[in-house]
Amino acid sequence: MTELVVDRLSFARGGRGVLEGISFAIRGGEMVALLGPNGTGKTTLLRLVLRLLQPVSGRVLLDGRSISGMTRRALATHLAYVPQGHGVVFPYRVRDVVALGRLAGGTMLAPVVPAADREAAEQALARLAVGHLADRSYAALSGGERQAVLIARALVQGARLLVLDEPETGLDYGQQQRLSDLLRRLAAEGYGILATTHDPLRAARIFGRAILMREGRIVADGPAGDILSARAIADLYGLKAVSAGPA
Ligand SMILES: Nc1ncnc2c1ncn2[C@@H]1O[C@H](COP(=O)(O)OP(=O)(O)OP(=O)(O)O)[C@@H](O)[C@H]1O
């Protein structure tokens, strides 16, 4: 089982502290929401976990090994990043976008997608119930379809920990529900899930655990339904009150 450990991580930009003493661990099977006001350091934390930034101090461990010494390919077999679906738009067919996940951490793009990689891509799309999209152009998909395709791409990478950046942004209610069901299914299969979100009420219902951040520090970490009380949400976002409490 893959375990991610973030150990006393600190980060600064231009001499200004951005993250201070961040520690937590995530195991396979856990579904963790990362919440906090704009500018609090959530994306910076994800970028440190993905080794796209270097910490000032502290470490990130995957199955007990520091990521600082890992090859890109080794890192990619543990950890997959699912960016926002409305970000980069690939001018490729869906099956090729997914198959490219097999090259994550590699040093070159293969001119022709090998048959085994094509097969893995088909299986991942079928598993996420979007096999019918395989021959469509990725650029022509809806936001929810793109998220599913990007998750399929993460799965063919072989990674057991998925890091998602605001996966619900821009999705309508139905697509949000389908995405939640999908993430829950993956967690039940043993995948570890860490996702940033700006929707605490939804996080309280859907995620098993929440980590709340404010001004570069973790201020709460525990069962989402418990720690995302109306009072805690109001405090986190500097509100007098939250009009609708968690369902
Ligand atoms: N490339 C950059 N150069 C300089 N400062 C940056 C850069 N990226 C982020 N910051 C700053 O670092 C701090 C943390 O930003 P970060 O994007 O991690 O916050 P966030 O919690 O993800 O915010 P949001 O919810 O708005 O996405 C903020 O003060 C932000 O202005």
Q: Would 52 be classed as within a structural domain?
A: yes
Give 44 Cα–ligand 1 centroid separation in angstroms.
6
Integer Cα distance of 225 and 223 in angstroms: 6
Our count of domains for the chain comes to 1
Residue 201 Cα to ligand 1 middle (Å): 23
Residue 154 in domain: yes
Q: Which atom of ligand 1 is nearest to the CA of 41?
A: 18
Model ipTM value: 0.95
Smallest CA separation from ligand 1 atom 1, residue: 13
Out of 20, 44, 217, mutate this one to test ligand 1's pocket (max ligand atoms within 8 Å of CB): namely 44
- Quote the pLDDT of residue 171: 82
Domain range for 142 is 3-236
Q: Residues with Cβ < 8 Å from 28, sequence gap 6 or more?
A: 1, 2, 3, 160, 161, 190, 191, 192
Q: Which residues does a 6 A CB cutoff place in the pocket of ligand 1?
A: 13, 18, 36, 38-44
Q: Is residue 55 part of a domain?
A: yes
Q: Are 114 and 121 in contact (CB under 8 A)?
A: no
Measured between alpha carbons, how far is residue 223 from residues 16, 28, 115 in Å?
32, 16, 43
Q: How far is the CA of 18 from the centre of ligand 1 (A)?
A: 8
Going residue by residue through the chain (247 aa), what tens digit of pLDDT does each one get? 689 999 999 999 998 999 999 999 999 999 999 999 999 999 999 999 999 999 999 999 999 999 999 998 889 889 999 887 666 666 788 988 888 887 765 444 555 667 888 888 888 898 888 899 999 999 888 888 888 888 899 889 889 999 999 988 878 888 888 889 989 999 999 999 999 999 999 999 999 999 999 999 999 999 999 999 999 999 999 998 776 555 4
**Beta strand spans in the chain (E):** 3-13, 16-27, 31-35, 57-62, 65-66, 79-82, 161-164, 192-196, 209-214, 217-223
Residues 80 and 104 sit within 8 Å (Cβ to Cβ): yes
Distance 230 CA to ligand 1 centre (A): 26
Asked if residue 242 is part of any domain, the answer here is no
Reduce the DSSP state of residue 232 to 3 states and report it: helix
- Domain of residue 23, CATH code: 3.40.50.300
Q: Is residue 244 part of a domain?
A: no
CA–centroid distance, 41 to ligand 1, in Å, is 6
The pLDDT value given to residue 170: 79
pTM for this entry: 0.89
Residue 184, in any domain of the structure: yes
**What was the pLDDT predicted at 245?**
52
Residue 245 domain-assigned (yes or no): no
Examine residue 217 and state whether it is found in any structural domain, yes or no.
yes
